[in-house]
Amino acid sequence: MGTRYLLTLLLAGLTFLPARAQLSAGAASDSSRQLRPAVPSSRLRSVRPVVLRAGIPLALIGVSYFGREQKLIHLARLEVREETLENFPAFNTNLDDYTRHLPGVAAYALHAAGVKPARGVVPFSLIYLAAHHLNMGVTSNLKRLCREARPDNPTDLSSFPSAHTSEAFLTATLLHEQFGKASPWISVGGFAVATATGTMRVLHNRHWITDVVAGAGIGFLSAEAVWRAYPYLAQLLPQRAARKLLLVPTYGAGGAVGLVLAVQP
């Protein structure tokens, strides 16, 4: 009973991580005004959100990485696996292959519906492409470095971290940044889908709980890093070149839909 709901509690908590960080940042800002610190308040306001938004995911990644070799955490994740196999023995779905992309699809649907975004569709697409490659680079290299066996196949040494979960939280974070100000429920929905993706990876016995928690942190940080860096990187792109960028929809066999970033002559 001690860890029966550990999976639910950990993953559900990830859904509200960005909102919690924003709330804490606001509270910290109010406290700074009351205490009148020696450090300029403008500098504190710029540093604290970064620490809050990056610190929690980094802590989750660190605990998940180093905890793999710690007896207490290893026993906890074994018990989580036993509980899930006992309560969901027939769980079998490939829905998580699609839900990891769903927040990104929702972002383009909201663009098409005319919901006011934080940035244009072309900048958003550039950010998504860069964040996706950063996320996959970090995830794939960690898989090769850690060589963690999957719970359902000891010969498959690509368990840590979960790439499905990292991609799901990447797209959910970008959806949150792009449309979160239009409605907080958009953010909640995106992170709920990402959390469901991670949950399915554990229920499907493809990942340990630590793989999923680390993947969530990596996806969140990859999206945040590129989103925050984009305004500075965009200044390096000549204005004439930027005006030539064109986003073109593509349609493939079987109803496949995609986007191509083209350069106009």
Q: How does pLDDT run across 105-161, given as a tens digit for each residue?
A: 999 999 999 999 999 998 999 899 999 999 999 999 999 999 999 999 999 999 999
Kindly report, residue by residue over 91-106, the tens digit of the pLDDT: 999 999 999 999 999 9
Let me know if residue 28 belongs to a domain. yes
Rounded-to-10 torsion of CA 71, 73, 76, 80: -130
Let me know if residue 48 belongs to a domain. yes
Let me know if residue 254 belongs to a domain. yes
Let me know if residue 20 belongs to a domain. yes
Domain count, the chain: 1
Host domain of residue 190 = 6-263
pLDDT at residue 40, as a whole number:
53
Tokens of 204: 């499907």
Let me know if residue 210 belongs to a domain. yes
Let me know if residue 40 belongs to a domain. yes
Let me know if residue 1 belongs to a domain. no
Let me know if residue 216 belongs to a domain. yes
Rounded-to-10 torsion of CA 204, 207, 209, 210: -170
With CA atoms as reference, report the closest residue to 129 among 137, 117, 118, 140: 137
Cα 75 to its chain centre, rounded Å, is: 26
Cα 158 to its chain centre, rounded Å, is: 19
